[in-house]
Amino acid sequence: MRTAPTILHLDMDAFFASVEQASKPSLRGKAVVVGGLGPRGVVATCSYEARVFGVHSAMPMAQARRLAPNAAYLVPRGGLYRAISEQVMGLLRALSPLVEPLSLDEAFVDLEAGGAAWDGHSARLAGERLRADIRAVTGLTGSVGLAASKMLAKIASEQAKPDGLVLIPPGTERALLGPMSVRTLPGVGPATGDHLRRAGIHTVEELAEAGEDELVRLLGKAHGHALYAMALARDERPVVAEREAKSVSVEDTYDVDIHDRLRIGLEVQRLADRCVRRLRGAGLSGRTIVLKVRRYDFSTLTRSETLRGPTDDPAVVREAALRLLDAVDTTGGVRLLGVGVSGLADFTQEDLFAQAAGEEVAGAEDETAEQAVREPAGPAERRWSPGHDVRHAEYGHGWVQGSGLGRVTVRFETPWSEPGRVRTFRTDDPDLERAEPLPLVEGAEGVTGAAGGSEVSEVSEVRGASAG
């Protein structure tokens, strides 16, 4: 391990909810919950004000509403979160070439590799400067942990929350870890924690005292060796700038079980097309097509098919996913569908086009076809999602508080205004339109690619994802 605390871990504070509070003055200091708002929705993250009521990430949204009925419940704005994440990651990359993102709101940085720090004093200065830069650029807060290893830097950032900085001086790691719960260590989840508790091991110090042989006997060779090393504060993992993706996938959870076999097939095709768009966006292709089906009784089936070579052709992926669906019994209905591609490569094999039944299946990436699947036939009514940005010809910029019964309620305010007034309109009001989010800091450049649409739905479908 290092002799200086030059590994930094940044974790943005309640990221999704903090973005919403920063962009909506009327929600600052109030309970905000972000996630899927349907009957089967899950909390993606919530503000610290909502956590007081017991709300937490991965909680069913229905339970969150019971605990905090007066909170603001908003649909995620994935494009906006990604744009702000890129601003934050840009600040990290200015510190060092070795930045290891873990999610949109979390990353490790090797300060020594970038010459940003070489001892405790310089590391603390770099961490404080980073926090100030993040606030200046985004208006948000992040918590920073500094230590001689990745494991300890992450533990330090947890202790720093919210909006703080904690540095663990080298040589003090064992004393710090000793009284902590074994659940503090990476890789110790509820099942492993219960197993250790039944063996009389509750703290990290007791874990170290049990000895390596006993931990191997209890947990197996690989896990036992790893946990013993962590209990002794040993962690030699380097900060890795690029983490190779193993798969690309998308999935949808449906508010009501789908029973119609035709619609299930159409949903699978739609998911396949979205998966390919992600694949192409990353400049990748893949050989193995994976179908995930969660049935009405919560049983989850996964089926896969490996092609002759990598592809990024939507027709190929659709046809493979439909072949996999043919082998799945969906009689009782399905509550979740997913399509993924693994065995990734950065090239395609052109002759795989022949695998698609009917090369001329036009509209592989035709958004109108996707809309036909998503929306029922009949007069189209504009959908106004809670939390999304709108603009009115007379009243200016605002955001949707709610909609229903042919009406939409809008609060008119900007990130740098006072809390605004609320007005109600018909959902088909010609003066009301969707709008791009405004920058969180006045005078800053706008965030691009952050409006609603498919980009938003991609994030809202990450069920149980935590955003700090």
d(CA 302, CA 287): 16
Q: What is the pLDDT of residue 340?
A: 94
Q: What is the pLDDT of residues 47-95, one digit of tens each?
A: 999 999 999 988 999 999 999 999 999 999 988 999 999 999 999 999 9
- At 335, which amino acid appears? R
d(CA 155, CA 149): 10
The torsion angles phi and psi of 431, rounded to 5 degrees, stand at -85, -5
Q: How far from each other are the two terminal CA atoms of the chain, in whole angstroms?
A: 27
**Rounded mean pLDDT of 412-439?**
94
Q: Within 10 A of 379 (CB to CB), how many other CB atoms are there?
A: 6
Q: What is the pLDDT of residues 203-232, one digit of tens each?
A: 999 999 999 999 999 888 888 888 999 999
Position 355 pLDDT exceeds 50: no
How much is the pTM? 0.74
Residue 260, strand partner residues: none
Position 449 pLDDT exceeds 80: no
CB 177 within 8 A of CB 204: yes
Choice between 125 and 254, residue whose per-residue pLDDT is larger? 125
3-state secondary structure of 37: coil
CB 186 within 8 A of CB 151: yes
d(CA 344, CA 321): 17
Position 458 pLDDT exceeds 80: no
Catalytic choice (106, 267, 319, 461): 106
138 pLDDT tier (thresholds 50, 70, 90):
very high
CB 239 within 8 A of CB 98: yes
Closest CA to 403 of 432, 368, 371: 432
Q: Which residues, at least 6 apart from 107, have a Cβ–Cβ distance to it below 8 Å?
A: 9, 10, 89, 92, 99, 100, 101
CB 452 within 8 A of CB 388: yes
SS3 letters across 366-403: CHHHHHHHHCCCCCCCCCCCCCCEEEECCCEEEEEEEE
3-state secondary structure of 259: coil
3-state secondary structure of 406: coil
Q: What is the pLDDT of residues 87-128, one digit of tens each?
A: 999 999 999 999 999 888 999 999 999 999 999 999 999 999
Q: What is the pLDDT of residue 241?
A: 87
Q: Within 10 A of 223 (CB to CB), how many other CB atoms are there?
A: 15
189 pLDDT tier (thresholds 50, 70, 90):
confident
**Rounded mean pLDDT of 361-381?**
37
Residue with tokens 């049983």: 299
Closest CA to 369 of 260, 258, 274: 274
Position 351 pLDDT exceeds 80: no
Tokens at residue 65, please?
Answer: 């509403």
Q: What is the pLDDT of residues 306-334, one digit of tens each?
A: 988 888 889 999 999 999 999 899 988 99
**Rounded mean pLDDT of 186-207?**
89
Provide the 8-state DSSP code for 79.
H
d(CA 442, CA 172): 43
Q: Which residues, at least 6 apart from 225, have a Cβ–Cβ distance to it below 8 Å?
A: 212, 215, 216
Q: Which residues, at least 6 apart from 376, have a Cβ–Cβ distance to it below 8 Å?
A: none
Report percent pLDDT > 90 for the chain.
Answer: 64
Position 457 pLDDT exceeds 60: no
Q: What is the pLDDT of residues 278-292, one digit of tens each?
A: 888 888 889 999 999
Q: What is the pLDDT of residues 264-275, one digit of tens each?
A: 999 999 999 999
Position 364 pLDDT exceeds 70: no
181 pLDDT tier (thresholds 50, 70, 90):
very high
Least confident of 23-27, 163-167, 458-462: 458-462
Provide the 8-state DSSP code for 252.
E
Chain Cα centroid distance, residue 272: 20
Q: What is the pLDDT of residue 450?
A: 46
**Rounded mean pLDDT of 147-159?**
95
Calculated CA dihedral for residues 124, 128, 129, 131, nearest 10 degrees: 140
**Catalytic-residue membership of 106:** yes
**Rounded mean pLDDT of 17-36?**
95
The torsion angles phi and psi of 197, rounded to 5 degrees, stand at -60, -40
| Radius of gyration of the chain from its Cα atoms, rounded to whole angstroms | 24
Q: What is the pLDDT of residue 467?
A: 56
The torsion angles phi and psi of 337, rounded to 5 degrees, stand at -135, 145
In the predicted model, what is the mean pLDDT of the chain? 85
Q: Within 10 A of 173 (CB to CB), how many other CB atoms are there?
A: 21
